[in-house]
A and B are shown apart, each in its own frame.
Chain A
Amino acid sequence: MSYQAIAQKLQSGRTVILDGAIGTEILRRNVTWADHQLANQPDFVRGIHEDYAGADVVSTNSFQLCRRALYNHFRDEAHRRQIGAADLDDRADKLLAASVRLAVEARQKAAAIRPVAVAAAITTLEWCFRPDLAPSPEQARLEYREIFQTVKDAGADLVLLETLNSISEARAAVEVAKDLGLPCWTSFVCDERGFLFTGESMAETVAALEPLGVDAILLNCAPPGDINAGIKELLACAGVATGAYPHIGRFDPPEWMFTDEYPPARYAQVASTWQQMGARILGGCCGTTPDHIAALRGLAA
């Protein structure tokens, strides 16, 4: 398992670099993100993974890629059969597996230099910023089991549950990942005060997840200032490895607005303050580029 090398680094207190954005990077390269481009332009997606060569962990291009997300566009099954494309039942599953295969292929080059793990990037089952929409824990366990089994079979080394918004959905996901024997990092979006979008605290989050065997707790998909508030709260109570990967720029649905507020050097400087506070996994969320991750590489020397 390629995760062993990453786990050992974290155990010995070394810093692990996670890759940067893939969805917004697709847009920045002037391609539409509509179908993740996994089936249409696999070489293009693999190429972006390869451009994140400085990362120890490559995360799959699979944000929000699940059957529920596709089904949500229809009233119900009868309506889906009436007007929906024929492959919707297994499209998400196939694309998920493809996303893992592309990341696995992309790591070949980098793996000659250092061990690289492939993380299946999986988010909330409903929209990441809307905890009010989350399914019941029982339902979430069923759906996560199917997703995790797919990415495990396709060769993922760990699951990176990202942009999570509630303890209950995180708990369901971690239980399933551990049951399947998959290493599991959970990453949460936090607000300006460092709380989850449900209002739950970092202390409550840590207390709920550590006993389940979660391998790391991170924060992502918030601006650096919010991440700063959250990481302080998280570091005050976490026993497991912690990390952060903020977004930079602005969410301009359905796309992203790139700004020059955090050029790579400044981005790495901000990340280094979290490293000094104790965070050991650093990477980039929406708006970050291979240059940002290259700049982070110096922190893992």
Chain B
Amino acid sequence: MYHHLEARLKSREPVLLDGAMGTELVRRGVRWRKHGLLTDATYVQQLHGDYLAAGADVIRTNTFQLNPRIYLNVFRNREHMRHIGAPGLGDLTPELLHTSVQVAKQARAHGPREDVAIAGVLAPLEHCFRPDLAPPFEVALAEQLELARVFAKEKVDLLFAESMNTIAEARAVAEAARTVGLPIWISFVIGPEGELLSREPLAEAIAEVEKLGAQAVLVNCAPPADIGRALAKVKASTRLPFGGFAHIGRFSPPSWKFEFFPQFAETESWSPERYAAEALRWRNQGASIIGGCCGTTPAHVARLKAALQVMRQGAKTA
């Protein structure tokens, strides 16, 4: 399905991403364990279906920050994990990735359109908001490659690296995608300075991943105003298709050491209408790929779809 996306991007049509998976599953009452993929896969599939019904052109697997480290990190070491951990914990990741793609495919098969692309989501191996913990390039490449290989075997249409927080790890995912022969879009988390969360310059990060063959660059996991400001920098840095997806509300983590925990507070201050109005400004800035990050819902994506259609009709009549 990737050629459909390429064609859209070439003709400067907007590509609509889906919205949040984790925060929306939690908001719907799903307990956050194994990304819902072991115990609540039907809810995950249902949510993909809701995003498809809302008009998303791309659905992203529910695999943000799903990798063997998130389990290993809460043990003393591998031996300790085998000793007191649930059986099979060390081999769980490929199984969960497999399920994540299966439920996305099921949702597409039952959805309104067949030309929707399924993106296998990669993310920083360590917590996305802690660039100080990121592994060096070689280590990241080896581990990201393992994840990318599973996605390639499961035949996703593209890879989508979200919330990347260092240039080194962004290079690693780009290299991993090239090795397995999948197109990749890479999105960076924007810190308070308006650059990567690592404080490395956004322009430099974009140049690096462009060299390695990334087919689109995006910015995400920051409040809408920060995404808008970052998009101006992105536009000035690349000729690649680019885009953004903001989170809404405030990150409200638990007192619990684990991977990114999808809980956002005060999301109601960003109605679908308000979010769509903000996102249309990104479109006017030249962004072609637009969607929602944490806190957004199918209603936000549906509103965004309608707003983009109105904009196109306006352009045609003008």
Q: Does any Cβ of A come within 8 Å of B84's Cβ?
A: yes
Looking at B70-78, B146-154, B208-216, the stretch in contact with chain A turns out to be B70-78
Cβ of B273 under 8 Å from chain A: no
Candidates B70, B80, B253; contact of A129 at CB < 8 Å: B80
Chain B positions 248 through 269: 1 when the CB is less than 8 Å from some CB of chain A, otherwise 0: 0011111111100101011000
- Chain B residues whose C-beta falls within 8 Å of the C-beta of A86 in the assembled complex: 250
Interface residues of A: mostly helix, strand, loop or mixed?
loop
Q: Across the interface, do B33 and A254 meet the contact criterion of CB distance under 8 Å?
A: yes
Query: Which residues in B have their C-beta under 8 angstroms from that of A192?
Result: 83
B87 interface hit (Cβ, 8 Å)? yes
**Which of B131, B222, B265 lies in contact with A82, CB distance below 8 A?**
B222
Flag whether A257 is at the interface (Cβ < 8 A): yes
Task: Compute how far the CA of A294 lies from the CA of B47 in the bound complex, rounded to whole angstroms.
Answer: 44
Q: Which B residues, 213 to 258, have Cβ-Cβ distances below 8 Å to chain A?
A: 221-223, 226, 247, 250-258
A253 on the B face (CB < 8 A): yes
A73 with B85: CB separation less than 8 A: no
A70 touches B129 (CB 8 A): no
Cβ contacts under 8 Å, A36 to chain B: 255
A250 at the B interface (CB under 8 A)? yes
Provide the bound-state CA to CA distance between A185 and B89, in Å.
33
Is the CB of A216 closer than 8 A to any CB of chain B?
Answer: no
B85 touches A79 (CB 8 A): no
Contacting residue for B251 out of A34, A84, A222, A252, CB 8 A = A84
| Docked pose: A192 CA to B192 CA in angstroms | 46
Closest to A197 in B: B76
Residue contact A251 to B84, C-beta cutoff 8 Å: yes
**In the complex, what residues of B have CB within 8 A of residue A35's CB?**
254-255
From A69, A84, A250, contact of B86 by CB (8 A): A250
Task: List residues of chain B with CB under 8 Å of any chain A CB.
Answer: 31-33, 70-71, 73-76, 80, 83-87, 89, 127, 129-132, 191-193, 197, 221-223, 226, 247, 250-258, 261, 263, 265-266
A-B complex: 4 closest residue pairs judged by Cβ atoms = A252-B86, A85-B252, A73-B253, A82-B192
28 of the cross-chain contacts (CB-CB < 8 Å) are: A34-B32, A34-B256, A35-B254, A36-B255, A64-B255, A64-B257, A72-B130, A73-B127, A73-B261, A74-B129, A79-B129, A82-B192, A82-B222, A83-B221, A83-B250, A84-B252, A85-B266, A86-B250, A95-B255, A129-B74, A129-B76, A129-B80, A130-B76, A223-B83, A250-B87, A255-B31, A255-B33, A257-B86
